[in-house]
Amino acid sequence: MKRAVFPGSFDPITLGHVDIINRALPLFNEIIIAIGTNSSKKYMFSLAQRISFIKKTYAGTKKIKVTSYQGLTIDFCKKNKIDFILRGLRNPADFEFEKAIAHTNRKLSKIETVFLLTSANTSYISSSIVRDILRHQGDVSMLVPKAVK
């Protein structure tokens, strides 16, 4: 069985994340959306809210599981017998950053990273942009799934 983890903070999940997940569904038997937690990071949404957003977005999608974890993604993968890490790429800066992590993860664990390019219509979306708009009471309805609104 091909299992992949899609790790991130998902603070909040965006239509860019949804694009990557939806296009990855035919590639894997199961995708675990894993929300990494970092006690030194300040989140806009609680862990419970972020889990709820994702569960509501993928309600009824049997191939999707949602969980949280602490520590290294590769340790989470080893513990849960996951062979692939799924990552989305929006731009060349993402590629360079993610490439270094993927090489390190493969060196440390033999876990492969699968990259999908975001669709052109979502490539500009990031959680940090969404949070900034929300802080200023702006409308994010075109950037996030309905569960976040």
Distances (CA, A) of 99 to 14, 109, 126, 127, 128: 22, 15, 19, 21, 21
Domain boundaries, the chain: 3-135
Q: Give the model's pLDDT for residue 149.
A: 80
Cα gap 68→125, rounded to integer Å: 23
Q: Which residues contact 146 (CB under 8 A, 6 or more apart)?
A: 56, 57
Q: Give the model's pLDDT for residue 140.
A: 97
The single residue of 90, 99, 106, 131 carrying the catalytic annotation is 90
The single residue of 39, 40, 41, 42 carrying the catalytic annotation is 41
Low-confidence ranges of the chain (pLDDT < 70): none
The single residue of 9, 17, 50, 87 carrying the catalytic annotation is 17
Is 127 annotated as catalytic? yes
Is 131 annotated as catalytic? no
Q: Give the model's pLDDT for residue 136.
A: 97
Q: Give the model's pLDDT for residue 86.
A: 98
| CATH class belonging to 3-135 | alpha beta
Cα gap 130→53, rounded to integer Å: 14
Q: Give the model's pLDDT for residue 138.
A: 96
Q: Give the model's pLDDT for residue 39.
A: 74
- Dig out the tokens for 130 from the structure: 């969404």
Is 136 annotated as catalytic? no
Is 123 annotated as catalytic? no
**Dihedral sign for Cα atoms in the order 134, 121, 112, 28:** positive
Q: Give the model's pLDDT for residue 15.
A: 97
Q: Rounded to 5 degrees, what are φ and ψ at 144?
A: -130, 155
